[in-house]
């Protein structure tokens, strides 16, 4: 890995590597703005002329004369971003620092970065956030163990990166869950699950799905004897084990009088609400006796699938169609 060399720079550089580097907690906010300006090669007069702009952007006009040691971490970060942005650099070096403050302030930061892009500033962004890279950069470079793995249009590079990550995660999940169903010990003469497979909106067997699209799971079973009133259950967990949903035929008022021999039960979600991520699946056959579910066979987190990014900009686990009103 290279650890020496030279770089030719044409313009003023502003490092957004760690917001607030160079700030002194014992000084007031105004003094720190002057100090940062001096570091960036700007005069005291130039920085003072930007006070109104900086403190208004940071939403801190009432705290100009407060010492930074009394600032909250959010106030500190907002002031640092506003100050760095106000120096009007030609080249910005950014290292994962755009998640500053609340959602409203993050939107202001994003708009400010868009202004830099519109003004043909040069931005060097180091990040693992695919959306930030594709939004802000035309060209991307993927590093792996200190060496260049791929360089090109940002979308192409991020597609390559995400495909690589999915392959790694799928391998881990296959190692964790892939063979467990083969090792199950079943009680003779009772119903058992023989397989669970998943299908997309086109009826194709797959382990890759899109948010808000059709998802179908087919639970194959076999029973050596007639089982009356069986209940089939299906559960989806995040890959860390967090339970998300656990429906069953009884709860959904689906009556199955009996099963005998082999068959298939289908469970369908017309619009899969899960956001991008890896998920694991449990499936079971039960009887309901004296108010309790009695497991005849249960495969605990033994299958998995992935929800891919289909440009739905939501956070968390679940996508819901909702409205905002003012």
Report helix, strand or coil for 271: coil
E strands, 103-214, in order: 122-126, 139-144, 147-153, 192-199, 208-210
CATH of 13-126, one of 3.40.50.150, 3.40.50.300, 3.40.30.110, 3.30.70.330: 3.40.50.300
Considering the chain, what is the average pLDDT of its residues? 86
Mean pLDDT of all residues in 89-94: 87
Identify whether the C-beta of residue 94 lies closer than 8 Å to the C-beta of residue 16: yes
> What pLDDT is recorded for position 155?
87
DSSP per position, 287-317: EEETTEEEEEEEEEEEEEEEEEP-S----SS
pTM: 0.53
Residues contacting residue 69 through CB under 8 Å, at least 6 positions apart? 25, 26
pLDDT tens sequence across 274-319: 998 889 999 999 998 888 888 999 999 889 999 987 677 777 888 8
> Domain segments of the chain: what residues?
13-126, 183-308
How far is the C-alpha of 219 from the C-alpha of 248, rounded, in Å? 12
Q: Could you say which architecture CATH assigns to the domain 183-308? A: Distorted Sandwich (2.70)
Identify whether the C-beta of residue 28 lies closer than 8 Å to the C-beta of residue 65: yes
> What pLDDT is recorded for position 185?
42
Token pair recorded at residue 284 = 């079971």
């Amino acid at each position: 890995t290279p650890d020496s060399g030279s770089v030719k720079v044409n313009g003023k550089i502003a490092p957004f590597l760690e917001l607030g580097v160079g700030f002194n907690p014992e000084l007031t906010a105004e003094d720190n703005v002057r100090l940062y300006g001096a570091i960036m090669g700007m005069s005291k007069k130039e920085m003072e002329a930007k006070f109104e702009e900086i403190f208004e952007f940071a939403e801190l006009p009432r705290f100009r004369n407060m010492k930074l040691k009394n600032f909250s971490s959010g106030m500190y970060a907002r002031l640092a971003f506003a100050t760095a942005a106000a120096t009007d650099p030609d080249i910005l070096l950014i290292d994962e620092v755009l998640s500053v403050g609340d959602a409203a302030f993050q939107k202001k930061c994003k708009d400010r970065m868009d202004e830099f892009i519109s003004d043909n500033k040069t931005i060097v962004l180091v990040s693992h956030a695919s959306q930030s890279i594709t939004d802000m950069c035309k060209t991307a470079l993927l590093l792996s163990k200190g060496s260049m793995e791929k360089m090109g249009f940002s979308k192409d590079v991020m597609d390559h990166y995400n495909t690589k990550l999915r392959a790694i995660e799928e391998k881990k999940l296959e190692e964790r869950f892939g063979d467990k169903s083969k090792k199950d010990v079943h009680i003779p003469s009772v119903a058992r699950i023989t397989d669970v497979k998943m299908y997309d909106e086109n009826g194709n067997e797959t382990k890759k799905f899109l948010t808000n699209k059709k998802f179908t799971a087919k639970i194959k079973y076999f029973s050596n004897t007639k089982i009356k009133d069986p209940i089939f259950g299906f559960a989806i967990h995040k890959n860390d084990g967090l339970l998300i949903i656990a429906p069953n035929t009884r709860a959904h008022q689906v009556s199955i009088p009996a099963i005998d021999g082999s068959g298939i039960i289908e469970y369908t979600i017309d619009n899969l609400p899960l956001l991008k991520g890896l998920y694991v699946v449990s499936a079971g056959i039960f009887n309901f006796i004296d108010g309790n579910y009695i497991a005849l066979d249960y495969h605990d987190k033994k299958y998995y699938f992935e929800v891919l990014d289909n440009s739905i900009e939501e956070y968390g686990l679940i996508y819901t169609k909702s409205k905002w009103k003012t």
